[in-house]
Amino acid sequence: MKKRVLVTGGAGFIGSHLCEYLLSKGHEVFCLDNFFTGSKENIIHLKSEKYFEIIRHDIINPFHIETDEIYNLACPASPQHYQYNPIKTMKTSVIGSINMLGLAKRVNAKILQASTSEVYGDPKMHPQSEEYWGNVNPIGKRSCYDVGKRASETLCMDYHRQNNVHIKIVRIFNTYEPRMMPNDGRVVSNFILQALQDKDITVFGDGKQTRSFQYVDDLIIGLYKMMNTSNSIIGPINIGNTEEFTILELAVKIIELTNSKSKIIHLPLPEDDPLRRKPNIDLAKETLNWKPITKLEEGLIKTINYFDKCIKNNRDYSTLNKFN
């Protein structure tokens, strides 16, 4: 059945892939974005689609539309971007979520809130399961994002309990793919661009901190499966890859795959940078019949090939940001 689906943050690297996937499933898609971190290049190829519409809008302002489902992905997600204007980041998570939940309430739509593994902070439980409450600094530089996303989950639960809004909460773990903004400070894009240009690979701290990287295709399927569960399934549910790598291992792997002459150098670790990050996805396996299938090397090769083409087309990636 064709549905009218609103995707906030639809021009971002995750949102744009979700828009494509929803269109492939035969739905009518409304892509809402203020283009702060999203890019028209990510969605320009969809403009000719009959059932696709692009709307420039910031969700901290109310928005009205008739829709069956809402995927609320809008929020800067890289350290550079969410720390650039931390108050705006918090507004997006709190006021933006209130606006989208209010819309869902008015039109009786299901809403999926894209939360994050950052709600676990620097976790003392490993791997992280959904019942873990986390270890988050409420007054640090990352708090605008970490605490903001925790607040958006709280709002979802309160709208569900008080107003019977049909909610879904997904906690997304580190995701990568070719449409990542090259200078947004994420470790995968930073390392790839540095390696392709034979520049020093900047590893923060001793590089022994771990992450679990999932390719975007796996995430999109998880989001879609979650939205299409019964109303009794609300989450939160972790969506991520359980293959854990140190940052140093990632750097070595990217140097190997790019045949780079880059050297690895070490810089001070950013404030509140989590030491370990790996999801427990038992709930996703049981509830959604979902698990990631893309191996790290396979996804890295696709991402490397994309950025290599961009560099050969003379896109300027000379300035990289200092965040892992």
Those residues with Cβ within 8 angstroms of residue 296's Cβ, 6 or more apart along the chain or in another chain: 213, 241, 243, 245, 253
- Give the H/E segment covering residue 165: none
Q: CA dihedral in degrees (262, 264, 269, 270; nearest 10)?
A: 0
Q: Where are the beta strands (DSSP E) in the chain?
A: 4-8, 28-33, 52-56, 69-72, 110-116, 167-172, 175-176, 201-204, 210-212, 214-215, 237-239, 244-246, 264-267
Indicate the angle between helix axes 247-258 and 296-312, nearest 10 degrees. Answer: 60
Residue the block writes with tokens 């995968």 = 188
Mark 241-260 as b/e (b = at least 16 C-beta within 10 Å).
bbebbbbbebbbbbbebbeb
Looking at residue 195, its amino acid is A
Name the catalytic one among 82, 145, 176, 215.
Answer: 145
Annotate 264-287 with three-state secondary structure. Answer: EEEECCCCCCCCCCCECCHHHHHH
Separation between Cα atoms, residue 82 and residue 90, nearest integer Å:
9
Looking at residue 265, its amino acid is I
Upper half-sphere CA count for residue 122 (Cβ side, 13 Å): 12
Structure token pair of residue 91: 């507004």
Catalytic, 145? Answer yes
Q: Peptide bond before 292: cis, by omega within 30 degrees of 0?
A: no
Active-site residue list? 145
